[in-house]
Structures are given as structure tokens and as C-alpha cells.
A and B are shown apart, each in its own frame.
Chain A
Amino acid sequence: MDFTRRDTLALGAGATAMALLPLSAVAQADPNAELVGAPDEFLAGADAGTGDLTLTAPEIAENGNTVPISIDAPGAVEVRVYALGNPTPGVAAFRFGPLAGSQAASTRIRLAGTQDVQAIAKMADGSYQTAMKTVKVTIGGCGG
């Protein structure tokens, strides 16, 4: 088997592409960027009901850098919060242990602009509950 110049070039290009592929895949997947993930990943195709999860957030937040939110989901094992309009939607994941007094928590989050904030709770029986709230943001909180 003898290689023409054209064959050799094609082979070389292919090999380079193969070598670069895993590299670019690694570059895109920031190891610690998405521990909370996106809503679809958490739900994994399951349907989410509404009612047992309360998400409290202000209707208008003047400063997107600190928007107070609280979640309350009696019977939940895990609640995740997503800011759907942020560069990365994941905000926080709360896992409640055996000594949690209630499945509720409050914190302060950053919002890039006016957007929907979604909370998804995974209940003890494996079902999901969701709640959504639109927050109007006057000054965005991602530094632009």
C-alpha cells in the first residue's frame, strides 16, 4: 500500500481532527460550572405537579445582585432553584437531611435581568413539584 501526497494529507487532517475533538469537548465542559444543572436534567423527563412547593420572590427587584428568595416544600428531599434568564440557569440545590426542621430555606440570589425564577422539588416519593415566579429586575446582577 503506497500513499499518494493527497492520501497523506487527508490522513494527517483526520488525525489532527481526532486529536482535537476530546480537547474541545473538555474545554466546553467546565468541571465545576454546573453542579446544579438545568431544570430538564433534574426532571429527567418526569412531569412536575404544582401546589406543594411555594417559591417566594419579590415581583420587582431593584438590584439584581441580591434578590431574596425563599422556598417551602413540605415533604421534599431536594429543592433546586433556577434563574432561567441567567448565563447559567442553576442557582442552588438544597438537600434536606433527617434533622431538617422543615423543608424550607431562604437565601439571596443574583439575577441578570427580568426573568422567570423556577424551583423544582423532588418529593420523598420520587415525584416532582414545581413553582415559577417572574421577577422584574431594574439593575442586572451579572456585571455585564
Chain B
Amino acid sequence: MASGVKPRVKAPKKASAGEVVTIKTLISHKMESGQRKDSSGNVIPRSIINRFTCDFNGQNVVDVVLAPAISTNPYFEFEATIPEAGDLKFTWYDDDGDVYEETKSVAVG
């Protein structure tokens, strides 16, 4: 599914150096499990986001492997340490090869 995928990220714009901040992410995606059947009994092929990563200035925060058992519109909440000012980079990898990216800048002060 390459249409209508919209990543949303909630991250603070400012933090103090070394602060641990909570980050919430949501991406709209139907996460077709490959288990469901359509009205004529054919299996609907699997189409999910299979990996999600979050990096800060190139250093990894969290790397998640997703199975079909993750709900529609995958949601993640986790914490990151902000050692200096920089960019949080979020990446979602789709089964069809698409990569969705989102960047949030965090200022330190």
C-alpha cells in the first residue's frame, strides 16, 4: 500500500542535554495480515510495514521488527536520550519496498 500512508510523530521541540524524552509515533497503514479472506474466499495478500527504526544524529534509539500481529496504523511509544541538539529520524519499511521517513529537530537549551 503506497497510498494514504501518513507518518505522524510527537516529539518535543526542546530538551535539555542528556534529557530522556518520550516519543510517540503513528503511521496510517492498513497492515493487511495475510490471514483474512475476501468475500469470494481468496486470501488477501499480506501487506504490512515490517520494520521501524528511530535514530538520533545517526545513533540508533530503537529498531523494531513488526509481524502481521501488529495492529492497523502501527503505534509506538518509547523513550530517547537527547545528548545534544540534532534530528530525530524515523523510518518505516513497507513490504512493497517503500520507505517512509519523518524527521523532527530537537533543540537543546
Contact = CB atoms under 8 A, between A and B. Distances in A.
How many interface residues does chain A have, given as a range? 35 or more
B20 A97 contact: no
Interface in B44-81: 46, 50, 55-56, 59-72, 74-81
A90 to B, nearest CB: 4
A99 interface: yes
B78 A90 contact: no
Interface string A89-123: 01111111111111011111111000000000000
B20 A94 contact: no
Contacts of A22: none
A50 interface: no
How many interface residues does chain B have, given as a range? 35 or more
B3 interface: no
Given A88-B67, A88-B68, 12 more contacts: A87-B35, A95-B60, A99-B59, A99-B80, A99-B81, A100-B61, A101-B22, A105-B77, A105-B78, A107-B70, A107-B71, A108-B70
15 contacts: A32-B46, A65-B71, A83-B69, A91-B70, A92-B69, A94-B63, A98-B60, A99-B60, A100-B81, A101-B22, A101-B79, A101-B81, A105-B62, A107-B64, A110-B69
Interface of A: 32, 34-36, 65-67, 70, 83, 86-88, 90-102, 104-111, 141-143
